[in-house]
Chains A and B, each alone.
Chain A
Amino acid sequence: MLNHTDKGVIEVKTVLDNNKNNLPMKKKISSFHSIKRDSLLYLLLLLPLAYIIIFKYAPIYGVLMAFQDYNIFEGISGSEWVGLDVFNFIFHQNSFYRALINTLALNFLDLVAGFPAPIILAILLNELRYVRLKKLTQTILYLPHFLSWVIIGGMVYLMFSSGGMANSVLSSLGLGNIEFLSQKTNWLIMYVGVGVWQSVGWGTILYLASIVGINKDLYEASDMDGCSRLRKIWHITLPGIKPTIIMLLILQIGRMISIGFDRPFVMGNSLVSEYSDVISTYVYRIGIGSGDFSQATAVGLFQSIVGLILLVAANFIAKKIGEHGIW
């Protein structure tokens, strides 16, 4: 008790003493207090912060490998520095350009086919009147998101290989066999289609959340005006979720250059390697397969830089056309 009152007195004193420039002083005390008051929250924050630092910032140290003739036994401190030689080597490799172009092409196709799909689906789900059916549909649509690509790859192989289900059905209908997975264009369609199937349900979550946030009055007003359903979607729902769409689009464009490893690796095969060899599989082959960590790191660094440029550019354009960017 004594301590407590003592402290209180001192605090009052300090504020009074520094009356003239009390603004910063008061701030200091309040920030200290706010940290003390929310100390538990800050403690909680430490956890994700530690995650980001350990797994996202700390590995940045390893980027140094891109500028070294990295020797796995000597480590970064013991390896020889070679400047930009590694980049020079990579930029003279045809297979690197192929991987780069494929990455951009596959991601672009994913964007074209995969980006509008969850928006349309979210709007459709939103129009469902019967709530339990809506919930059920949503759950079923989420499921593929939780399947590993290895499993999906196996399913695709079983269903679409030449002796698979799809071809059995086709040939029993007298339509003949289609090489779904070994012919390049067909493979592309399969790759994109399976990707949409896997991610579309999960992608609706954010859109559904932002649809819920749209002011209900608007819908009621439009009902009064005799709006049709399509009109309501066009004039209320879509503009209502436009900021979300733009934000997700920017993020997606920022990811244009990076591509997951499992999907192209599992779905690809030697006959379609012209399309299925992407940066992540290239890095895997060079880095893990050949043990050339310098090259793999250099490619990774290049990828990050291009990704950053794309992200900043997309954000800039979004702001220019009068939308909120992501910063």
Chain B
Amino acid sequence: MKSKIMMVLLPVLALLAGTLAGCGSDTTKESQSTSSTTSTSKTEATSSDSPVTLTVEVFDRGIQGQPDLNNNTWTRYINDNFGKQNNAIVKFVPVPRSQEVDKLNVLMAAGEAPDISFTYDSATVSRYSSMNGIMQLDDLLDNNGKDLTNYLGEKVLSYGAFDGKQMAIPAKRTSLAWIGMFIRKDWLDKLGMPIPTTRDELYNTLIAFRDKNPGGVDGVIPWGVAATGMNYGYGNLIDSFWGKQSEEEFVTTPGWLKPGNKDAFKFLNKLYNEKLISPDFALDKTAKQADADVTNGKVGFFSANWDYPLRQNISEPLKANVPSANFVPIDTFKNDEGKYKKIAYNENGVSLFIPKSSKNAELAIKYLNWMSDPKVLFFLQYGQEGVNHKMVNGIPQVINQTGDNMQTSYLNLDYTLVVNGVELGDPQKNIKALAASAPGLEAVAEQSYKINTTDTYTGFFFDTPNKSNIKFGKTLGDMNNQMTDKLIVCKPSEFDSLYDKLVAEYMAAGGKAVMDENVKIYKDMQANKKQ
């Protein structure tokens, strides 16, 4: 009998111990957050004793053959030139590119987010900001970020202000092109066809690709895509169907409600059912299959980021597999007004922020301030002359490297957090250098950039966080992707009813709430402007 009591007592006691331990850990967390405000000033005092560790987020893109993200030419340069001078060790915390927000949420919740964290998802920044989990940066920037403020300028910084407070530091984006469309010129030449300039012409070209298989490949894919959400997309095809709207309507309504949107999907649905689009694209959740199809020379046309075919992971295998393959940029989705309307980036890139749990806020700003020095930026983007780049007509040209010298992202995007794109201090030079970053494909690059910065519009910036978007944004984003795939794949006879059903579901699942709040914020902004 008694031994049974012990059996019960033991777990109960241990349980108590467990809960006590739980409480303990909670209090330490609290003390940490309260101490963080006082400890920001500590960094200077400690310069004589052991170095401070400044943690900085970095994307792990899982590139084949990538060097240690914490010990390579670039991190050593940073530590030698910034770390030593400030008695600090700059440590990089890798976050998988594809789980950017997910991983960040976990790190933030655990109070372990790097001193300099970042995300491309501005809804996430406004969520952290409204939860009061990140630092307000106005004073820090005034005191330690003069060069940084000058470099970025008021316009760029305004994208990081929420409710009038500077909560994030947006990187400066120097190249504003976003999407691009590419077609196999060598296939067109073989068929004796011109470069398509309208939807219908593209349609005929795709049919010719399908029926005549100019590349002589097994399983030709006229238009290569992957599951929506990863790299591949439909370019500005959908935009080209949209009808006229007032500015207010255009910036506040989701794409699904825009006039003409349904026709756009009907067109894509037709293409899919006529076997002009990758057959199993919806299963290709990582876009690996699409990449393989493109680099194996099976794909005739695709749309992805404006520089996609210039990227090393596409251009090199393609050249090895199909030396004659020649992707050229085209503009083919003309709307009723005769324009090739397409979205481009705003002048801001990734959003940097400092979590409240950080003890090194001042040092973090100093780091970014140091980085905005043109000399530093130049080295981080282009490295050493003769090793990482060569000068041609005063324009640096990247020499692709492997191992220690390898850049895991375009011009070390993931290390040069204050800038997104080439930074040579002069827009004209930037574009030239941009083109030079793809040896052998300069003309393609320059042309693609030109096409994809013509007839552009940019995403509207709401200066107040949209609470509904914070709550439903991720769900709606996922729905968006699923709806796109479903509507393209469904049977043509089911299309109309499915479209209406899915859009109704989307609006009910938060789409309407987000739209209503958008309208409200927009109206407030207009009212403020008039004052």
Question: Shortest Cβ distance from A150 into chain B, in angstroms?
Answer: 11
Which of B15-23, B335-343, B420-428, B451-459 lines the interface with chain A?
A: B15-23
Question: Shortest Cβ distance from B474 into chain A, in angstroms?
Answer: 4
Question: Shortest Cβ distance from B117 into chain A, in angstroms?
Answer: 13
Mark interface residues in A211-225 (1 if CB within 8 Å of B CB, else 0).
000000000000000
Question: Shortest Cβ distance from B361 into chain A, in angstroms?
Answer: 15
Within the assembled complex, what's the spacing in Å between the Cα atoms of A288 and B100? 11
Q: Which residue of B lies closest to A161 (CB)?
A: B280
Which of B1-9, B42-50, B191-199, B406-414 lines the interface with chain A?
A: B1-9
Name 11 A/B residue pairs within 8 A (Cβ), A-sorted.
Answer: A46-B14, A53-B11, A53-B15, A58-B19, A73-B111, A94-B508, A182-B282, A269-B282, A270-B228, A270-B485, A270-B486
- Pair B6/A31 contact, Cβ less than 8 Å: yes
- Pair A49/B482 contact, Cβ less than 8 Å: no
Is residue A286 contacting chain B, with contact meaning CB distance below 8 A? yes
Q: Which residues of A contact B475 (CB under 8 A)?
A: 95, 285-286, 290
Within the assembled complex, what's the spacing in Å between the Cα atoms of A171 and B531? 70
- Pair A71/B131 contact, Cβ less than 8 Å: yes
Q: Which 7 A-B pairs have the closest CB atoms?
A: A31-B2, A73-B133, A290-B474, A270-B485, A72-B109, A270-B482, A291-B105
- Pair B280/A58 contact, Cβ less than 8 Å: no
Is residue A271 contacting chain B, with contact meaning CB distance below 8 A? yes
Most buried by A among B356, B473, B485: B485
Within the assembled complex, what's the spacing in Å between the Cα atoms of A120 and B505? 44
Is residue B29 contacting chain A, with contact meaning CB distance below 8 A? yes
Q: Which residues of A contact B247 (CB under 8 A)?
A: none
Q: Which residues of A contact B279 (CB under 8 A)?
A: 162-163
**Provided the pairs A58-B18, A289-B474 are in contact, do residues A271 and B486 lie with their beta carbons within 8 angstroms?**
yes
Known: A31-B1, A31-B2, A71-B132. 8 other contacts (CB 8 A): A35-B3, A52-B11, A57-B18, A61-B22, A78-B30, A163-B280, A182-B283, A293-B109
Q: Which residues of B contact A292 (CB under 8 A)?
A: 471
- Pair B109/A61 contact, Cβ less than 8 Å: no
Q: Which residues of A contact B484 (CB under 8 A)?
A: 270
- For the A-B complex, the count of residue pairs with Cβ-Cβ distances under 8 Å equals 124
- Pair A31/B30 contact, Cβ less than 8 Å: no
Is residue B500 contacting chain A, with contact meaning CB distance below 8 A? no
Question: Shortest Cβ distance from B468 into chain A, in angstroms?
Answer: 12
Is residue B287 contacting chain A, with contact meaning CB distance below 8 A? no
- Pair A35/B6 contact, Cβ less than 8 Å: yes
A77's contact among B30, B124, B219, by CB below 8 Å, is which?
Answer: B30
- Pair A285/B486 contact, Cβ less than 8 Å: no
Q: Which residue of A lies closest to B483 (CB)?
A: A270
Q: Which residues of B contact A61 (CB under 8 A)?
A: 19, 22
Q: Which residues of A contact B485 (CB under 8 A)?
A: 269-271
Within the assembled complex, what's the spacing in Å between the Cα atoms of A313 and B344? 58
Q: Which residues of B contact A93 (CB under 8 A)?
A: 509
Within the assembled complex, what's the spacing in Å between the Cα atoms of A46 and B6? 13
- Pair A75/B30 contact, Cβ less than 8 Å: yes
Is residue A76 contacting chain B, with contact meaning CB distance below 8 A? yes
Is residue A197 contacting chain B, with contact meaning CB distance below 8 A? no
**Provided the pairs A53-B14, A269-B283, A290-B474 are in contact, do residues A182 and B489 lie with their beta carbons within 8 angstroms?**
yes
Is residue A172 contacting chain B, with contact meaning CB distance below 8 A? no
Q: Which residues of A contact B283 (CB under 8 A)?
A: 157, 161, 181-182, 269, 271
Q: Which residues of A contact B356 (CB under 8 A)?
A: 73
Question: Shortest Cβ distance from A69 into chain B, in angstroms?
Answer: 10
**Provided the pairs A27-B2, A76-B26, A95-B509 are in contact, do residues A270 and B474 lie with their beta carbons within 8 angstroms?**
no
Q: Which residues of A contact B505 (CB under 8 A)?
A: 94
Q: Which residue of B lies closest to A61 (CB)?
A: B22
| SS of A interface (majority) | helix
**Provided the pairs A161-B280, A293-B109 are in contact, do residues A273 and B482 lie with their beta carbons within 8 angstroms?**
yes
- Pair A291/B14 contact, Cβ less than 8 Å: no
Mark interface residues in A1-39 (1 if CB within 8 Å of B CB, else 0).
000000000000000000000000001101100110000
Q: Which residue of A lies closest to B481 (CB)?
A: A270
- Pair B227/A270 contact, Cβ less than 8 Å: yes
Is residue A128 contacting chain B, with contact meaning CB distance below 8 A? no
Is residue A63 contacting chain B, with contact meaning CB distance below 8 A? no
A residues engaging B (CB < 8 A)? 27-28, 30-31, 34-35, 42, 46, 49-50, 52-54, 57-58, 61, 71-78, 93-95, 157, 161-163, 181-182, 269-271, 273, 285-286, 288-293
Q: Which residues of A contact B127 (CB under 8 A)?
A: 291
B residues engaging A (CB < 8 A)? 1-3, 5-6, 10-11, 14-15, 17-19, 21-22, 26, 29-30, 33, 101-102, 105-106, 108-109, 111, 124, 127-128, 131-133, 219, 227-228, 279-280, 282-283, 285, 356-357, 471, 473-475, 478, 481-482, 484-486, 489, 505, 508-509
**Provided the pairs A161-B280, A163-B279 are in contact, do residues A28 and B2 lie with their beta carbons within 8 angstroms?**
yes
- Pair B11/A72 contact, Cβ less than 8 Å: no
Q: Which residues of B contact A46 (CB under 8 A)?
A: 14
Within the assembled complex, what's the spacing in Å between the Cα atoms of A181 and B478? 19
Within the assembled complex, what's the spacing in Å between the Cα atoms of A95 and B101? 21
Q: Which residues of A contact B108 (CB under 8 A)?
A: 72-73, 291
Q: Which residue of B lies closest to A35 (CB)?
A: B6
Question: Shortest Cβ distance from A299 into chain B, in angstroms?
Answer: 13
**Provided the pairs A34-B3, A61-B22, A72-B131 are in contact, do residues A285 and B474 lie with their beta carbons within 8 angstroms?**
yes
Within the assembled complex, what's the spacing in Å between the Cα atoms of A56 and B509? 33
- Pair B105/A288 contact, Cβ less than 8 Å: yes
Q: Which residues of A contact B2 (CB under 8 A)?
A: 27-28, 30-31
Within the assembled complex, what's the spacing in Å between the Cα atoms of A57 and B10? 14
Question: Shortest Cβ distance from A14 into chain B, in angstroms?
Answer: 16
Question: Shortest Cβ distance from B421 into chain A, in angstroms?
Answer: 28
- Pair B282/A271 contact, Cβ less than 8 Å: yes
Within the assembled complex, what's the spacing in Å between the Cα atoms of A93 and B482? 18
Question: Shortest Cβ distance from B479 into chain A, in angstroms?
Answer: 8
Within the assembled complex, what's the spacing in Å between the Cα atoms of A35 and B2? 10
- Pair A73/B132 contact, Cβ less than 8 Å: yes
Question: Shortest Cβ distance from B320 into chain A, in angstroms?
Answer: 22
Question: Shortest Cβ distance from A87 into chain B, in angstroms?
Answer: 16
Within the assembled complex, what's the spacing in Å between the Cα atoms of A31 and B7? 11
- Pair A49/B11 contact, Cβ less than 8 Å: yes
**Provided the pairs A58-B21, A270-B481 are in contact, do residues A289 and B102 lie with their beta carbons within 8 angstroms?**
yes
- Pair A57/B15 contact, Cβ less than 8 Å: yes
Within the assembled complex, what's the spacing in Å between the Cα atoms of A271 and B281? 10
A75's contact among B10, B29, B473, B481, by CB below 8 Å, is which?
Answer: B29
Within the assembled complex, what's the spacing in Å between the Cα atoms of A61 and B416? 42
Question: Shortest Cβ distance from A66 into chain B, in angstroms?
Answer: 16
Within the assembled complex, what's the spacing in Å between the Cα atoms of A54 and B17? 10
Q: Which residue of B lies closest to A52 (CB)?
A: B11
Within the assembled complex, what's the spacing in Å between the Cα atoms of A78 and B26? 10
Question: Shortest Cβ distance from A3 into chain B, in angstroms?
Answer: 25
Question: Shortest Cβ distance from A201 into chain B, in angstroms?
Answer: 27
Q: Which residues of B contact A271 (CB under 8 A)?
A: 282-283, 485-486, 489
Q: Which residues of B contact A34 (CB under 8 A)?
A: 3
